[in-house]
């Protein structure tokens, strides 16, 4: 079966050890996380994780279900097939002397990047976009010599009103002892 890149979005309780639980589960089930980005969500006490993982649809579905079983995971969905916006931010430190500096700035402009730091022998470019955009820019900058790259990993969101139910619904459905 063909493996494809899947984008999994999880809303998790903002508690110590949650990232460990999620990462441990991926390791346990033999999955390599390509990228993971974690930050606050729109709901207090809930964090949002965007996880990019390679696998067949069946195995990724298995991991989604296993993730959903974690008590601290409130909601998890595989949004791969959906109409989604995906963004990643990269900081790229490029070798730059007086001869190449303006050319690099021009490339950054084309990609709507920002120059966030200038030194005598380097420039740091900040760029936001999907994976393809960042890869294309890197391809162009490699010729100048790249000193350092820092990438955030992707974050993703379904466009418009489509999406899973609001987390409040789930919160309301709390469990009581019979």
Q: Which residues bind other proteins (CB under 8 A)?
A: 12-13, 16-17, 20-21, 24-25, 28, 58, 61-62, 65-66, 68-75, 167, 170-171, 173-177
Using DSSP bridges, classify how beta strands 114-118 and 46-55 pair: parallel, antiparallel or unpaired.
Answer: unpaired
Angle formed at CA 21 by CA 55 and CA 149, multiple of 5 degrees: 65
Q: Which of 58, 69, 45, 57 is nearest to 167 (CA)?
A: 45
Query: Taking the complex as a whole, how short is the minimal distance between the CB of residue 80 and other proteins, in angstroms?
Result: 18
Min. distance of Cβ 8 from other proteins in angstroms? 15
- The CB-of-57 to other proteins minimum distance in angstroms stands at 11
Quote the CA–CA distance of 45 and 37 in Å, as a whole number.
Answer: 17
Compute CA 123 distance to the chain's CA centroid, rounded to the nearest angstrom: 25
The least distance separating other proteins from the CB of residue 153, rounded to whole angstroms, comes to 23
CA distance 10 to 14: 12
Q: 65 or 112: whose CB is closer to other proteins? A: 65
In terms of CB distance, is 159 or 170 closer to other proteins? 170
Q: Residue 72 has which token pair?
A: 């601290």
Given the complex with other proteins, which of 21 and 101 has the nearer CB atom?
Answer: 21
């Amino acid at each position: 079966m063909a493996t494809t890149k899947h984008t999994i979005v999880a809303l998790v309780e903002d508690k110590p050890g949650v990232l460990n639980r999620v990462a441990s589960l991926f390791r346990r089930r033999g999955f390599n996380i390509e990228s993971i980005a974690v930050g606050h969500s729109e709901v207090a006490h809930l964090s949002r994780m965007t996880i990019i993982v390679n696998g067949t649809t069946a195995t990724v579905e298995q991991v989604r279900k296993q993730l959903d079983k974690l008590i601290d995971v409130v909601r998890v969905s595989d949004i791969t097939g959906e109409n989604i916006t995906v963004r990643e931010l990269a900081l790229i430190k490029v070798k730059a002397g007086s001869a190449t500096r303006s050319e690099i700035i021009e490339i950054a402009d084309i990609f709507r990047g920002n120059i966030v730091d200038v030194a005598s022998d380097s420039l740091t470019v900040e760029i936001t976009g999907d994976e393809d955009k960042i890869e294309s820019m890197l391809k162009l900058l490699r010729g100048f010599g790249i000193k350092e790259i820092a990438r955030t990993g992707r974050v993703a969101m379904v466009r418009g009103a489509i999406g899973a139910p609001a987390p409040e619904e789930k919160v309301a459905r709390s469990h009581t002892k019979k």
